[in-house]
């Protein structure tokens, strides 16, 4: 394990630390251990019963005896972690997560800058909170399964920047819908208007070479009934997720769902156009629901079973509406109504990329092997869809609807 520092007073006073040092010469006879295994060995010296917990007093002794081998930033975070445990015990998983760099720099830097340390009692026991503090606490319990993450989020959230991505996308969708409603003089089932598909934002199979349409179709909705549910889900689910995970991560999941939705249509429903933001919305909602199911015991949001049932019913109704509309006789044959396959593309992104993002709050995605596996799968699908769009339409000799 390398050269030992000269023992200080804390080391001399700590019998447990001396026992660790006595074992160290034997380490040279063993193959080099991974960093996480090294800290596990040290942790086990203080946890002979293999309970997964040690007292905060022993934990501090371990830190003092190995302080020269610790990044000062890590040591500060670990001390704050020890202070946050009112029951006097430290969980091994919390310890090794920090020692193996699974936290981002923002977690360490915030403590170094003097922010209030993690509160020792559960957030639900906090009294005298104002409205904004209660909102932040509510968002923490809605989205995060671990109490230590909820405490850190509650202490560190500043609403700077605000959840601008989901709000901006929602406002743009509403603005485009109102503009189209006025220009077409129709707000319900706009998609049945003969001039609807002439809009340059809609994905149309005849115009699939215009690459922007694979993304801009989210600003066109079939009608107010289509827009309404998407907007509600974006605001109720997307905004809290963005408050916790940030615009970059949530925007990535949303845009990935949107692009996967249009590409899925171009592969599986080749003659149909695409409109609506359901691909992105379903990516976020399915990721959130999957995260709740996978962390069921840790998620403390109220009425979670009832709310999951309501969310699934709403999504099913919207999906059923899309399926009905797709096979309903078109108002402008031979072009069919918009496809429903984009919803399925969004769900696929949500339960893969989306789940990895939501399960790794304040942790680096590039350190997660599942992240790279799903990124590779998504990249392969995109490349496959691109080549499909270039060659398959010609080889299959499809009769595509005429351009709008």
Catalytic amino acids?
A: 278, 343
Q: Quick one: which of 248, 264, 259, 218 has its CA closest to 357?
A: 248
Nearest to 282 by CA among 313, 304, 261: 261
Backbone φ, ψ for residue 5 (5° rounding): -75, 155
Q: How many CB atoms lie within 10 A of CB 376?
A: 10
Question: Among positive and negative, which fits the CA dihedral 252, 255, 257, 260?
Answer: negative
Distance, CA of 325 to CA of 328 (rounded, Å): 5
- In 3D space, the residue among 34, 36, 28 whose CA is nearest the CA of residue 1 turns out to be 28
- Residue holding tokens 């606490």? 137
Cβ-based neighbours of 187, under 8 Å, separated by 6 or more? 177, 181, 223, 224
């Amino acid at each position: 394990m390398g050269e030992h520092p000269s023992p200080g007073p804390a080391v001399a006073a700590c019998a447990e630390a001396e026992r660790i040092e006595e074992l160290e010469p034997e380490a040279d006879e063993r193959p080099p251990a991974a960093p996480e295994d090294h800290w596990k060995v040290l942790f086990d010296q203080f946890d002979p019963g293999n309970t997964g917990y040690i007292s905060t007093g022993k934990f501090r002794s371990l830190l003092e005896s190995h302080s020269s081998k610790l990044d000062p930033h890590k040591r500060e975070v670990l001390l704050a972690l020890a202070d946050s445990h009112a029951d006097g015990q430290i969980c091994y998983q919390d310890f090794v997560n920090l020692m193996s760099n699974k936290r981002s720099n923002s977690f360490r830097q915030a403590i170094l800058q003097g922010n209030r340390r993690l509160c020792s009692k559960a957030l639900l026991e906090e009294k005298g909170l104002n409205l904004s503090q209660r909102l932040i606490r509510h968002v923490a319990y809605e989205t995060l399964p671990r109490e230590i993450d909820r405490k850190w989020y509650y202490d560190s959230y500043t609403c700077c920047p605000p959840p601008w991505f989901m709000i901006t996308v929602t406002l743009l969708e509403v603005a485009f819908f109102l503009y189209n409603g006025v220009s077409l003089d129709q707000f319900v089932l706009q998609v049945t208007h003969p001039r609807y598909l002439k809009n340059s934002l809609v994905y149309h199979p005849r115009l699939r070479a215009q690459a922007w349409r694979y993304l801009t179709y989210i600003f066109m909705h079939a009608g107010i009934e289509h827009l309404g549910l998407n907007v509600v889900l974006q605001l109720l689910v997307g905004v809290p997720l963005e408050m916790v995970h940030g615009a970059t991560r949530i925007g990535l999941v949303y845009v990935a769902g949107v692009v996967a939705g249009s590409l899925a249509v171009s592969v599986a429903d080749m003659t149909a156009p695409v409109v609506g933001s359901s691909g992105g919305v379903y990516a976020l909602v399915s990721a959130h629901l999957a995260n709740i199911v996978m962390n069921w015991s840790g998620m403390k949001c109220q009425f979670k079973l009832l709310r999951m049932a309501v969310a699934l019913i709403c999504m099913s109704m919207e999906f059923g509406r899309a399926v009905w509309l797709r096979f309903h006789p078109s108002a402008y044959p031979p072009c069919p109504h918009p496809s429903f396959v984009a919803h399925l593309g969004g769900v696929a992104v949500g339960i893969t990329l989306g789940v990895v993002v939501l399960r790794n709050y304040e942790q680096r995605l590039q350190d997660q092997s599942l992240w790279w596996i799903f990124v590779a799968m998504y990249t392969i699908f995109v490349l496959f869809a691109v080549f499909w769009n270039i060659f398959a339409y010609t080889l299959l000799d499809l009769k595509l609807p005429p351009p709008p």
